Structure 1
Amino acid sequence: MARGRTTADGGGTTARGTDIDVAVVGGGIAGLTAAHRLRAAGRSPVVLETADEVGGRMKARRVDGWIVEEGTETLAVRGYDATWRLIKETGLDREDGILKVNSLAGVWRGGRAHAGTGHWFGALTGSGLSLGGRSALAGLAASVIRQAGTYDTRDPAGSPLGTGTVAQLARGRHREVYDYVLQPAVATGWGWDARRAAAAPLVATMISTWGLLGWRTYRGGMDALAKKVAAPLDVRTGHTVEEVKETAAGVRLVCADGSVLTAREVVLAVPAPVARRIHPGAPAEEQPYLEASTYSPMIRVTCLVDRPLAPPQRRGTPSVYALLIPEVEDGRISGLTFEHAKAANRAPAGHGLVSILTAPDTTRELLGESDAHVLGSLLGSAEKYAPGLNAHLKQAFVHRFPHAAPDANGAALRLHRAFLGRPSRAVEYAGDWIYQRPSSEAAVQAGELAAQRLLSRG
């Protein structure tokens, strides 16, 4: 990938007087998918990415034998159809680029991790729930399964849950359903406040993936697919777009370095708040959804340790790689991931890689603080979940995401169908916020949709 120059031949044509056929603003997986589909259809997309590497929230760095993933990413064998299409088209599957995750997710309760959250093992053992909690969860699961055909990951508000929140889904049920299942699930994985975020995207996702069964990860790190998709594309890194504006001659792009480009069409593959800022002239019917599509921030602290640490567990139970920490148990830390338990190649032999995820209120408190302050606030608290963390810590990285996950609030879900039904225009959008579902699958689906909408314009 090059800074400011073309890296691949294009197959389309630009409109008279424009510099670029299709400018894709954002080199995350959504933008790369849109460019991939457009190029396959004979167009000449150019990806403009602010960072020095592609990947967006799916980025990883290599440090002395560790693969340090900035976000958290796994993919399911079910419910990730668009992602698997991309994997197969790029040949990543044939290159042994996908690994099976053999360890499980678990929840913290009573001083230890209970393996099996979202998995059949947890259904057998209870995964930390009392008999009353298990019965209530089984009842909720049965009611959801009976209506499974009415849930659509691309139309969350169309489900029986409508815009009801995660907290409302738990209302009237055993308290453990909220405290030890729903609240930690959305806080750890997506940074959501369960009192604000809608339950429908969570339930639709769990139905489509069959819970946490059959999950995989990328051998080369979470950015492996992004890099594979980007390889044949014209990607220009270090290129920040500050404003886009539709004109009679095409779409005008004003860049941070003072340069101005024109494009026949544009895909804004950036978070909705960023799209709203750089596209102030968005049509009036698009603006309400752009404004309603707010994001939850997240902080992830990745710790390189000199041995493979593990959370306290009952002897003989499966290892836990993703530890969900309920708000009632902590309040500052929402979870830990033991990356070496997810994929052995994440750390050198005999070493470990542990990440700490902050709870929503803690994220807001620490987002603007220094790395030293963040580490000082979290490392001590994380010790009980990963005994030996501080003694064996070699190096730590703080990753901040002001726009980590679309928070699927009720206002956005109510406007969702109208936004998807709008006419195709020269400026289209891509990102997981298009479907209000924080996952790489939603981002890939949105990239495909943006390409389809532009191609439909002729």
Structure 2
Amino acid sequence: MSWDVIVVGGGIAGLAAARELQQAGRSVLVLESSPRVGGKLRRERVAGHLVDVGAEAMLNRRPEGVDLAAAVGLEVEHPALARSRVWTRGALRPLPRSLMGVPQDVEALRESGILTAEELAQVLAEPSLPPYELPESGDVTVGEMVDARFGAAVTDRLVEPLLGGVYAGHAREISARVAAPQLLRLAAQGSLLEAGRASADTTASTYQAPVFAGVPGGMGLLPERLAEQLTVRTDATVRGLERHPDGAGWRVLVGPTTDATWLEAGAVVLATPTAPAARLLADVAPAAAARLAAMEAASVAVVTFAFRTEDVAALDAMGSSGFLVPPVDGRSIKASTWSFAKWDWVRRAGAADGLAFLRTSLGRHREEAVLQRPDADLVALSLEDLRAAVGTALAPDVEPVDTHVQRWGAGLPQYGLGHTEAVAEVRVDVAGQPGLAVCGAAYDGVGIPAVIGSAQRAAREVLATVPVTV
């Protein structure tokens, strides 16, 4: 059978693209190399309950994610508690209001104790600086810009832990044009600190909607629900891509090396990470392949714990949804999310059995050595850091009822300097091949709505080249 479109990759990007194409009347086949769909949106059983072991939330103020959830019949839920802390300088300290870690509330920052008096003085002096000027290259890392405006301590103790959670990268290597365009725009106009103070009076009226949303039952429900409405083949590794010999449409080689077969389609959407995309594009779009092959990615691990509710009652009483960890403090974990406090659905899920779920994350770009250790070591390292962070709120003799370790190898693409230009070159080269498009986290953002937006763009690009099958 020949398909209108074959989508390679069954993560949220591939599934969203496939749905868009199917809704437009095209016949679509999704090929996923692993045994299950969803990519980094995944649920697993921990202590008998299905919980997220990948992404657990999406931006609510960008519409693509919540709109897609609604379209497949899923409700969304907003965090019941979103008061995060920073574990730094030996204590859990309140995370002051900020924009990507850049302070917007000086008094809260002062009271938090995150910065020394000398470091705080440098923050207070920021309004006296002239507007920020980009270098001739037109791009700068987030860390370089924040260093120049506020000093290294703000980058190290506020910006780094936030960017580490989003990208598992380093602030002084991540492009500000991609990761923090609003900061660049405001800094070019004048003081970031003054802009933050001004926004305090307008935030409530301008941004009434919650920042984040989740799905009761887990974000992993979204790809599961999408896959139910699509034709998907799992354990289907795509090994080759070529123009059809007659010049119309494409062929993909799929299956084990000993028994691979060619499938035909009018168009192909590559919704894979950069490495497999580069391999498949090597002969048909070599410039794009080279650009994608040069993009780096970070590996991370998520450790999920199920504790007895009574054993974490003191954590619950702290009124926090977890904490971030600056890399400068030298800990093993980079964050802990107290899911039972953050999400009502998680609290409800464990309540019947007297369980509370929380998670830790480990791993940063080029610092994946800790991830080479066995699962049991990651659990032990996480527990050691948790106990050190919260003190007596988690007694030394308290052990989890169950644990789960989820590793995401090369799971988070890194948006280095020049990323915008690299993506543009990839798309120009791919666009030279009618009926071919790319999408995923490597292009327009790593968040769920951005990835879905990338998928919808790819679907639009191929729709014009593939007539509706009659």
- The TM tier, using the shorter chain, reads 0.7 to 0.9
1:98 counterpart residue number: 77
Q: 1:430 aligns with which of 432, 439, 449?
A: 439
1:191 counterpart residue number: 168
Would you say 1:251 and 2:223 are equivalent positions?
no
Q: 1:85 aligns with which of 67, 83, 86?
A: 67
Equivalent-residue separation in structure 2 for 1:161 and 1:264 (angstroms): 40
2:198 counterpart residue number: none
Contact kept, 8 Å, 1:304 with 1:394, in 2: the verdict is: yes
SS in 2 for 1:73: coil
Would you say 1:21 and 2:4 are equivalent positions?
yes
SS in 2 for 1:393: coil
Contact kept, 8 Å, 1:268 with 1:275, in 2: the verdict is: yes
Per-residue CA deviations over 1:235-292 (Å, capped at 9, x if unaligned) read 2223222222233243222223323122222111111112112333231331232123
Would you say 1:167 and 2:143 are equivalent positions?
yes
2:376 counterpart residue number: 372
Contact kept, 8 Å, 1:218 with 1:224, in 2: the verdict is: yes
Contact kept, 8 Å, 1:253 with 1:262, in 2: the verdict is: yes
Q: Which runs of 5+ in 1 are unaligned?
A: 1-17, 148-157
Residue type at the aligned position of 1:431: G
Counterpart mapping for 1:235-246 below 5 A:
235-246=232-243
1:440 counterpart residue number: 448
Q: 2:426 aligns with which of 419, 422, 425?
A: 419
Change beyond 3 A, Cα 1:344–1:247: same
Equivalent-residue separation in structure 2 for 1:358 and 1:323 (angstroms): 13
Residue type at the aligned position of 2:171: A
Could you tell which deviates more after superposition, 259-268 or 334-343?
259-268
Q: CA deviation at 1:122?
A: 8.0
Would you say 1:57 and 2:59 are equivalent positions?
no
Change beyond 3 A, Cα 1:189–1:373: same
Q: 1:279 aligns with which of 278, 281, 300?
A: 281
SS in 2 for 1:367: helix
SS in 2 for 1:432: coil
Residue type at the aligned position of 2:63: D
Change beyond 3 A, Cα 1:452–1:361: closer
Bigger Cα Rg? 2
Percent identity (aligned): 23
Residue type at the aligned position of 1:98: E
Could you tell which deviates more after superposition, 353-362 or 231-240?
353-362
Contact kept, 8 Å, 2:168 with 2:300, in 1: the verdict is: yes
Residue type at the aligned position of 1:129: I
Residue type at the aligned position of 1:54: V
Deviant stretches of 4+, over 4 Å: 117-122, 131-143, 158-162, 205-213, 308-313
Counterpart mapping for 1:217-232 below 5 A:
217-232=214-229
Q: Which runs of 5+ in 2 are unaligned?
A: 186-202
TM-score by length of 1: 0.80
Counterpart mapping for 1:35-434 below 5 A:
35-78=18-61, 80-93=62-75, 97-118=76-97, 123=105, 125-126=108-109, 127-130=112-115, 162-172=138-148, 173-204=150-181, 214-249=211-246, 250-257=249-256, 258-260=259-261, 261-307=263-309, 319-346=319-346, 347-349=349-351, 350-360=354-364, 363-386=367-390, 387-388=394-395, 391-422=398-429, 423=431, 425-434=434-443
Contact kept, 8 Å, 1:180 with 1:326, in 2: the verdict is: yes
Change beyond 3 A, Cα 1:369–1:409: same
Contact kept, 8 Å, 2:178 with 2:420, in 1: the verdict is: no
Equivalent-residue separation in structure 2 for 1:82 and 1:22 (angstroms): 22
TM-score by length of 2: 0.79
Residue type at the aligned position of 2:434: R
Q: CA deviation at 1:128?
A: 4.2
Contact kept, 8 Å, 1:77 with 1:214, in 2: the verdict is: yes
Could you tell which deviates more after superposition, 440-449 or 343-352?
343-352
Backbone CA RMSD of aligned residues: 3.6
Q: CA deviation at 1:340?
A: 1.0
Residue type at the aligned position of 1:457: T
Equivalent-residue separation in structure 2 for 1:279 and 1:303 (angstroms): 41
Per-residue CA deviations over 1:328-355 (Å, capped at 9, x if unaligned) read 2224221111111111332511422221
1:4 counterpart residue number: none
SS in 2 for 1:197: coil
Change beyond 3 A, Cα 1:282–1:301: farther
Residue type at the aligned position of 2:66: W
Per-residue CA deviations over 1:97-149 (Å, capped at 9, x if unaligned) read 43444232221124332234546998352254346656766887999xx99xx
Equivalent-residue separation in structure 1 for 2:127 and 2:447 (angstroms): 22
Residue type at the aligned position of 2:6: A
Could you tell which deviates more after superposition, 424-433 or 202-211?
202-211
SS in 1 for 2:40: coil
Equivalent-residue separation in structure 2 for 1:248 and 1:62 (angstroms): 47
Change beyond 3 A, Cα 1:185–1:99: closer
